[in-house]
Amino acid sequence: MIEVAEKSIAWIRFRVVGRQTHGSTPEEGINAHKAGAHLIVMLEGLYEDFPARDDLFDPPTSTFEPTLKKANVSNINTIPGEDVFAFDCRVLPDHDLDEVRSKVEAYVREVRSVFGVEVEIETPMWQRAAPPTPPDAPIVNALEEAVGAVYGVAARPMGIGGGTVAAFFRQAGLPAAVWSRMEDQAHQPDEYCLLSNMVGDARVMARLFLREGA
């Protein structure tokens, strides 16, 4: 895979505030955890709200997934007055992140109304997708040739949901491409790279820079 495009990235943190009380008297409190759980399920609707598909990407759709969940109370017999969780959203360039925010806020308003909680929203990451590099750009063609010559495999241009520093070059109008040989161990226990891959990748880079007109 030669990475030529990236999705927009939105990290959204929700803080649901209710009123803590004893587990035996739920009517005297407002269960922030219950409200938060309903909000998480409601946010699944973002998949239907933003259904675009682009087969350049893997996966070919936008993704909206709950991730971080902070501890609320330490004992079972207390109804929590605060619930904090986060979503990691990777959005196809066809969709406007401002529209995603509007939909999220609509779900939040409904939860506020139904449960009587307050919901605070923070966005630690809010990065709109940079313009993609054309799949037939000279750098992509050159990488395809070099990878084929060194490794004997056919590389192809694709988009990813992750973020790389190539986005900054693309935002500046430079057709950047990202490539390396990896063992698919990113964010895994005992993440590693192989020296043989590093040597092979150096050969690919050397072949690129030795091209006529490079």
Q: What are the pLDDT digits (tens) for 76-110?
A: 999 999 999 999 999 999 999 999 999 999 999 99
Which pLDDT belongs to residue 189?
87
For 23-75, the pLDDT digits (tens) are 999 999 999 999 999 999 999 999 999 999 999 998 999 999 999 999 999 99
Cis upstream peptide for 59 (omega within 30°): yes
Q: Which helix (H) or strand (E) element contains residue 42?
A: helix 32-42
Rounded to the nearest 5°, which phi and psi values hold at 169? -70, -40
Q: Is the pLDDT of residue 214 over 60?
A: no
Burial of 74 (0-12, 13-18, 19+ CB in 10 A): exposed
The third-level CATH classification (topology) of the domain covering 138-209 is: DNA polymerase; domain 1 (1.10.150)
Strands, DSSP E only, in 131-205?
157-160
pLDDT for res 162:
85
- The residue type of 64 is F
Q: Which of 40, 11, 163, 161 is nearest to 100 (CA)?
A: 11
Residues 6 or more apart in contact with residue 117 via CB below 8 angstroms: 16, 17, 18, 30, 32, 35, 111
Can you name the CATH fold of 2-127? Alpha-Beta Plaits (3.30.70)
Rounded distance, CA 7 to CA 166, Å? 12
Domains of the chain, residue spans: 2-127, 138-209
Q: What is the radius of gyration, based on Cα positions, of the chain?
A: 23
Per-residue pLDDT tens for 110-167?
Answer: 999 999 999 999 999 999 999 999 999 999 999 999 999 999 999 999 999 988 999 9
